[in-house]
Structure 1
Amino acid sequence: MSALNKTLNIAVLTVSDTRTIETDKSGAYLKQAIVEAGHQVFDSQIVKDDIYQIRAVVSQWIADHAVQAIITTGGTGFYGRDSTPEAVKPLFDKNIEGFGELFRHVSYTEIGSSTIQSRAVGGFANNSVIFCLPGSTGACKTGWNKIISEQLSAEFGPCNFVKLITSGEH
């Protein structure tokens, strides 16, 4: 990481009724990518796909001023228990409409119209930026490599979210 870039504290939440630390490939990928980008994994957890469990963990991280970014994986589909957007969106101070739109656009080139089943969302809450990704490792790689890593790099231009989440100007 260059002197211009900033090390961010990023929390990772895996939402799944079945995954464990041993089987959570998506969460493991995100944590590795975060470290490789020069950031720190502030915390990581796995919770069941339950609106209130998701909201409780994300709310705790939002309230902690040391956390600048939160990435969730899982619970963004249409199955009965998929509830990450419903859990997290009410916590947003501002929505990042373009994140979900761009994620689906980029994902379309990889999986075609199946991307319509993704309810990836993003937003800001209390000076933290939040990205909610699907649970597949492929989707996490797409989200991180094509969107999130650039937006969490102070060197990326013409705009990125680093100044907003480190200065509180959003």
Structure 2
Amino acid sequence: MSEKDFIPVRIAVLTVSDSRTLAEDRSGDTLVTRIEAAGHVLAARHILPDDRPRIRDQLAAWVADPDIDVVISTGGTGLTGRDVTVEAHRDVYEKEIEAFATVFTIVSMNKIGTSAVQSRATGGVAGGTYLFALPGSPGACKDAWDEILVKQLDYRHAPCNFVEIMPRLDEHLRRKP
């Protein structure tokens, strides 16, 4: 850590599930607890069914919201026919953060071995907003937050982090023609 001051970011959490309610959303609860414990702001929280257009539209709405810096979804990243969260994320991304999936797989391998190949966790950027799609288990959400996101969403983390480049994510939109 450095001498920099902590900068809280505003994070929206989306749980993708055909069956969970807010009362049963252990993965969402895991993320919310960690987000708030780290000093960040929970900007919004929703649950949606495994429906690509609805997920895409919610992600796009949050990207367009100036009060949201980061979107984290949980659920729908597997291989079954109903798992469409990754496709919805990619519908919204301007740029994919390929290394997020790689690092998540490394973290998962250390926890669940070769079963990590069944996850399609992903990360990207759109409209100056970071988006991350995590698996639907509380353990996967805990691992992604504790091993990757808590550090990359902390302005004090060295040698680099997502927060320090946030002001430049949409610089291409401000450039003169």
Q: TM-score range by the shorter chain?
A: over 0.9
1:85 aligns with 2:89: no
CA deviation string 1:24-79 (max 9, x = no partner): 00001101110000000000000001101101111100001221101000000011
- Tell me the amino acid that sits aligned with residue 154 of structure 1: Y
Match of 1:12 in 2: 13
| Separation (CA, whole Å) in 2 of partners of 1:66 and 1:169 | 15
Q: Secondary structure at the match of 1:71?
A: strand
| Separation (CA, whole Å) in 2 of partners of 1:129 and 1:158 | 19
Q: Aligned ranges for residues 110-121 of structure 1 at < 5 Å? A: 110-121=111-122
Match of 1:168 in 2: 168
| Separation (CA, whole Å) in 2 of partners of 1:164 and 1:130 | 15
Match of 2:52 in 1: 51
- Tell me the amino acid that sits aligned with residue 18 of structure 1: S
What is the TM-score with the length of structure 1 in the denominator?
0.96
Alignment coverage as a number of residue pairs = 168
| Separation (CA, whole Å) in 2 of partners of 1:78 and 1:140 | 18
What is the TM-score with the length of structure 2 in the denominator?
0.92
Let me know the Cα RMSD of the aligned residues.
Answer: 1.2
Q: Does structure 2 retain, via aligned residues, the 8 Å contact 1:37–1:149?
A: yes
| Separation (CA, whole Å) in 1 of partners of 2:93 and 2:14 | 16
Q: Flag structure 2 segments of 5+ consecutive residues without an equivalent.
A: 171-177
Shift of 1:3: 6.5
- Tell me the amino acid that sits aligned with residue 12 of structure 2: A
CA deviation string 1:85-111 (max 9, x = no partner): 111112111110000010011100100
Match of 1:62 in 2: 63
Q: Does structure 1 retain, via aligned residues, the 8 Å contact 2:17–2:75?
A: yes
The structure number with the bigger radius of gyration is 2
- Tell me the amino acid that sits aligned with residue 27 of structure 2: S
Match of 1:139 in 2: 140
Shift of 1:169: 3.8
| Separation (CA, whole Å) in 2 of partners of 1:57 and 1:163 | 26
Cα distance change on mapping 1:151 and 1:22 into 2, 3 Å: same
Among the aligned pairs, what percent are the same residue?
Answer: 43
Q: Secondary structure at the match of 2:73?
A: strand
Match of 1:129 in 2: 130
| Separation (CA, whole Å) in 2 of partners of 1:125 and 1:159 | 20
Q: Does structure 2 retain, via aligned residues, the 8 Å contact 1:127–1:164?
A: no
Q: Secondary structure at the match of 1:11?
A: strand
Match of 2:173 in 1: none
Shift of 1:163: 1.8
Q: Flag structure 1 segments of 5+ consecutive residues without an equivalent.
A: none
